Amino acid sequence: MWWLYIIGPFLSLLPRRWRKILPFHDAVPWHFSSILSGLAEFSVAVLGLVFWYSYSVQTWVSRLMDNALSKAGPVEITDHEVGFAALLVVATHPLTWVLAYFTVEGIARLCASFSDTVLGTLPLYLVERLSAKLFGLKDSRPLGTPEFAQSNLSSYVSTLQDKIAAARLPTLPDELYSSAVEAEEFLEIRSSHPKTDWDPPRTVRFGDRYYRLEECGRRSAPRSFLYRLRRVSRGVPGRTVLVYNPDPEPVVASH
């Protein structure tokens, strides 16, 4: 459906909860849409900054010069002083900060899209969170599923905390624990250090088996990082598939 490629970049601005309720959610090319949306947001914000800077400086320089020339008596004012005053006005204007924010957000959303993470825009995320609080909606996200605030601010802080905590711990072999619930097979990987790009719901290949990363969380030391995977019947090798090839050899846990 070609029209999904047109509206996809706009839909990728929505928070995850709103995207999930779309009847055609699974048909949207989210990876392509998030890349295009982040790039477009960054480009528009940068062009807006350039235009706003050019317009503002010219406007304020003209006003400052007219104001200086309208005063009685000689007024000594240099071009540098006028330019600095105009630049100061632009730098402190709220619109400048808004455009600067969307420039940074566009970069963040673009970078996140390369790891198959679709980030909505922060203003809509705040609206979604507020509406969820007002109407008592529960967050149905699985543990570890990234959302805007988590991935762009809280996640950065959390990642930094994880790195600091992991740096204090020795590197231990991963611990594997297999379990079965009815016909479903699950694999828990307990690691002493966080695994890069292991964000649900990524596909993980371990040997000749494929798993869906369902959850990631924290537990007590020394293996503080827990990853819960569910086996899938088939998997397709590709760029987005995580290959789990631990070194040293992991140990198998009995419980």
pLDDT tier for residue 181 given thresholds of 50, 70 and 90: confident
107, pLDDT greater than 50: yes
**Mean pLDDT across the chain, nearest whole number?**
80
Q: Taking Cα atoms as reference points, which of 90, 156, 92, 86 lies closest to residue 119?
A: 156
Find out whether the peptide bond into 201 is cis, omega within 30 degrees of 0: yes
In the chain, the percentage of residues whose pLDDT exceeds 90 is 29
Q: How far is CA 191 from CA 204, 209, 222, 250, 253, in A?
A: 15, 20, 8, 9, 12
Check residues 116 and 17 and name the one with the higher pLDDT.
17
pLDDT one-digit tens code per residue, 208-241: 899 999 998 888 878 888 999 999 987 666 667 8
Range 112-115 contact pairs with CB under 8 angstroms and sequence separation of 24 or more: 112/34, 112/38, 112/146, 112/151, 112/152, 113/31, 113/34, 113/35, 113/37, 113/38, 114/35, 115/197, 115/199
Cα(193)–Cα(250) distance, integer angstroms: 13
Cα(214)–Cα(226) distance, integer angstroms: 11
- Indicate the burial class of 196 (C-beta count within 10 angstroms; 0-12, 13-18, 19 or more): exposed
- Indicate the burial class of 13 (C-beta count within 10 angstroms; 0-12, 13-18, 19 or more): buried
Q: Taking Cα atoms as reference points, which of 105, 107, 109 lies closest to residue 119?
A: 109
Check residues 254 and 207 and name the one with the higher pLDDT.
207
Cα(243)–Cα(193) distance, integer angstroms: 17
pLDDT tier for residue 76 given thresholds of 50, 70 and 90: low
Check residues 175 and 133 and name the one with the higher pLDDT.
175
- The top-scoring range by mean pLDDT among 113-122, 174-183, 238-247 is 174-183
Q: Taking Cα atoms as reference points, which of 33, 35, 31 lies closest to residue 10?
A: 33
Q: Which helix (H) or strand (E) holds 97?
A: helix 94-113
